């Protein structure tokens, strides 16, 4: 695990965006795994700048990490909409090449299997962008999730629902209780895992991920087993690393 500590969230975004740009220059049809939430926003903004300066992303595909179950199609906080706004439109990706698990599907388990198959058919994820939950989750693989899991339905913990209430007008009752998430096994199959985190609220989770024992108690610790994982954190998020 390569750990890069930089002064602030904007620098986290710049370092992570440059890693992504390097891949796209080398492999114009790269497959990206994309996280939502606040952590990767500076990365997407910095990447957008590179696209404005000529980085060609016309051949890039993307697979979202996760999606809420039960929100109506087109709900502004569904990850399909967040990915459309923050990733597809900002970067000018081809919408046909951007995939999000179908949280509104009638048959969600089949939608999960089809999602895994679509990732396989695309040749696998070359670079998976990740944030980390304050409880150590990646994707929505909450503590106690299998470290070998694939895309499936999961129940969100009260901690994660409370953390995400900020996206739902601070109204906990509006936060879905279930989600679809790529599994840790799916994430470990990616060519490179690029995790970004900033702020002291992430310091404990970052330390447990990088320096704690590998285990389901901190799902992100499975990245210690990834063949190539890069963690880009600001000084606040790195503050509990030894």
Binding site for ligand F6R (CB under 6 A): 35-39, 65-66, 131-133, 137-140
Task: Give the Cβ contact number of residue 170 at 10 Å.
Answer: 10
Q: How far is the CB of 37 from ligand F6R (least distance, A)?
A: 3
Report in angstroms how near the CB of residue 129 gets to ligand F6R at its nearest: 9
For 77-99, give one letter per residue: b (16+ CB within 10 A) or e. Answer: bbbbbbbbebbbeebebeeebbb
Residues 112 and 151 sit within 8 Å (Cβ to Cβ): yes
Least distance to ligand F6R, CB of residue 226, Å: 16
Alpha-carbon distance of 160 to 68, in angstroms, equals: 12
**Residue number, nearest CB to ligand F6R:** 131
Comparing CB distances to ligand F6R, the nearer of 24 and 65 is: 65
Angle ∠(137,156,195) on CA atoms, nearest 5: 20
Q: Smaller CB distance to ligand F6R: residue 36 or 88?
A: 36
Shorter beta-carbon distance to ligand F6R: residue 27 or 161: 161
Any idea which residues carry the catalytic annotation? 66, 135, 137, 142
Strands 98-99 and 2-6: unpaired
């Amino acid at each position: 695990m390569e750990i890069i500590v930089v002064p602030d969230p904007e620098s986290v975004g710049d370092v992570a965006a440059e890693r992504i740009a390097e891949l796209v220059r080398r492999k114009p049809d790269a497959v990206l795994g994309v996280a939502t939430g606040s952590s990767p926003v500076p990365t997407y903004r910095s990447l957008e700048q590179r696209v404005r300066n000529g980085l060609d992303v016309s051949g890039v595909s993307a697979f979202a990490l996760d999606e809420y179950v039960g929100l109506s199609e087109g709900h502004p906080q569904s990850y399909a909409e967040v990915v459309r706004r923050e990733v597809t439109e900002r970067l000018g990706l081809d919408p046909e090449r951007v995939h999000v698990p179908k949280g509104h599907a009638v048959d969600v388990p089949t939608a999960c299997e089809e999602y895994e198959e679509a990732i396989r058919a695309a040749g696998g994820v070359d670079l998976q962008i990740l944030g980390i939950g304050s409880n150590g989750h990646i994707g929505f693989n909450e503590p106690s999730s299998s470290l070998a899991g694939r895309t499936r339905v999961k129940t969100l913990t009260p901690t994660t629902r409370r953390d995400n209430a900020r996206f739902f007008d601070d109204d906990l009752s509006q936060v879905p209780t279930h989600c679809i998430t790529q599994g840790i096994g799916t994430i470990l199959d990616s060519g490179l895992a690029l995790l970004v985190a900033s702020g002291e609220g992430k310091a404990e989770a970052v330390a447990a991920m990088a320096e704690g024992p590998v285990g389901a108690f901190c799902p992100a610790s499975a990245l210690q087993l990834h063949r190539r994982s890069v963690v880009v954190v600001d000084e606040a998020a790195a503050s509990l690393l030894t």
